[in-house]
Amino acid sequence: MAHRTSRVLALLVALATTLTACGGGGDAAPGTGAAAEPGAPEQTELTVGVLPLADLAPFYLAINEGLFEEQGLTVQADVASGGAAQIAASVAGDLDLVFSNYVSLLQAAAEGLPMRIVRENNRSGPQGIYAATGSGIDAPADLAGKRIAINSLGNIQELTARAVLESHGVDLDSLTFVELPPPDMPAALAQGNVDAAWMVEPFLTEVEQAGDAGRVVGAFEGPTENLPVAGWATTAQFVQENPNTVAAFVRALDEAMALAADDPGLVAEVIPTYTEISPEVAAQLAPAGLSVTSDLSDFGALADLMVEHGLIEEGSLEIDEVVVTAEELPQE
C-alpha cells in the first residue's frame, strides 16, 4: 500500500521537507502546554477549509445561528474536494482551520507537518461501498478485481475499504482505487466508469431512492466499527498564537453539535443551504455519526490500522503530540 500513496500526500511530504529545511514549524510545541489565560479571540476573522458533505451541517448551523458571532468570530468557508489538500493550504497559511479526515491528518503529522486536531466532528456513520443496480456486485466477494471510487487515494475511504474487504476475504491486491469527488460518483457508477463507489451522504440516499445503486458492504463494520473519522484541525503555530480564537471556535461547534442532536430538523434545513440537495431529500438522509462530545483520546485503533495497511510507519507517530484537548485551551 505504501507505494500507492496519493499525489496529495506526496505534496504534503515535499511541503514538510521544505518547512523543515526553512525552520518552519520545527520549534512549535505539540500543543499549547499550560492553558492560556481566557480572553477575547486574538484573531476574529477566520477562513475555514470545508468539504461539501452532510457531515458539515453543524458548522453551517454555527454560521447561520450566529454561534460563531456570539464567540466574537467571523467565519468564511473555503470549499475543497479533499481533506489532504486542505492540510497543505493550512500549513501554507492560506486557511486558519480545516475539516479533514483523520487518516490524512495523521499521515501529515507522521511526515513532520505541524498539524493539531482540536475537535472531533464525526465518527462511523451510514457510509458504505455501493454498486450499480444490476451490476452483479451484491456481496463483498464480488468486489475482487474491481475498480472502487474513493475521494482521495490513501485516505480514510481507502483505509476502511481495505480493512472491511480484507475481513470478508477479498484479495486486496486485486483492487483498483480511483479518485473521484463524491458528487461525481453516482454518474460514474451509472456510466460504468467504476464498478463500485465509497459513498457518503447525501449521495448514498439519492442513489438508493432512485434505485440506481445498492449497498454492497458498510464502510464501518468489523475492524472499522466506531472508528474516529474526521475532525477540525489547525497548525501548532496557530494554536500557540491564537489559543482564545481556537477555544472560541470549538465552543461554537460544541453548541452547534448540541443543537443538531436536539433537533435533527435543523440539520435537514441547513444542508440545502450549502449543497445542491433538495429539502425533501435532506429530510430523508440517514443520521450522521456527529460527535456531540469531542473525544480525542482514542486514535490508537485507527493508527494501528494505518500501520497495518502501510499508510504510516510504525513508531512514526505520537498521538499525544497531534491532539489539543479542551483542557489545553483557555476556559471561559
Q: Are residues 103 and 133 in the same domain?
A: no
Q: Are residues 99 and 197 in the same domain?
A: no
| Residues 135, 22: Cα–Cα separation, whole Å | 52
| Residues 135, 223: Cα–Cα separation, whole Å | 27
Contact 61, 260 (CB under 8 A): yes
Environment class of residue 210 by beta-carbon count within 10 Å: exposed (0-12), middle (13-18) or buried (19+)?
Answer: exposed
What's the average model confidence in pLDDT over 80-96? Answer: 82
Q: Are residues 30 and 105 in the same domain?
A: yes
Say how many domains are in the chain.
2
The last residue of one of the domains, among 224, 250, 284, is: 224
The predicted-structure confidence for 208-253, as pLDDT tens digits, reads as follows 999 999 999 999 999 998 888 999 999 999 999 999 999 999 999 9
The residue behind cell 465509497 is 198
Q: Are residues 153 and 301 in the same domain?
A: no
C-alpha cell at 104: 490524512
**Pick from 242, 327, 266, 238: nearest CA to 71:** 242
> Is 103 a residue whose pLDDT tops 70?
yes
Residue 210 makes CB contacts below 8 A (sequence gap 6+) with: none
The last residue of one of the domains, among 160, 194, 224, is: 224
> pTM here?
0.84
Buried b / exposed e along 20-49 (16+ C-beta atoms within 10 A): eeeebbeebebbbeebbeeeebeebebbbb
C-alpha cell at 107: 499521515
Split at pLDDT 50, 70, 90, the class of 280 is confident
The last residue of one of the domains, among 224, 244, 268, is: 224
Q: Are residues 31 and 177 in the same domain?
A: no
Q: Give the domain extent around 66.
A: 2-123+228-328
> Is 6 a residue whose pLDDT tops 50?
no
Q: Are residues 172 and 112 in the same domain?
A: no
Q: Are residues 119 and 145 in the same domain?
A: no
> Is 23 a residue whose pLDDT tops 50?
no
- Report CA torsion sign: 48, 267, 271, 211: positive
Q: Are residues 193 and 241 in the same domain?
A: no
Q: Are residues 68 and 215 in the same domain?
A: no
Q: Are residues 39 and 173 in the same domain?
A: no
The predicted-structure confidence for 148-198, as pLDDT tens digits, reads as follows 999 888 889 999 999 999 999 999 999 999 999 888 999 999 999 999 999
> Is 83 a residue whose pLDDT tops 90?
no
**Pick from 281, 203, 249, 235: nearest CA to 68:** 249
**Residues 135-139: contacts with CB within 8 Å, 24+ apart?**
135/195, 137/195, 137/196, 137/216, 138/214, 138/216, 139/216, 139/217
Q: Are residues 161 and 191 in the same domain?
A: yes
> Is 29 a residue whose pLDDT tops 60?
no
**Which CATH number covers residue 79?**
3.40.190.10
Q: Are residues 63 and 136 in the same domain?
A: no
C-alpha cell at 124: 462511523
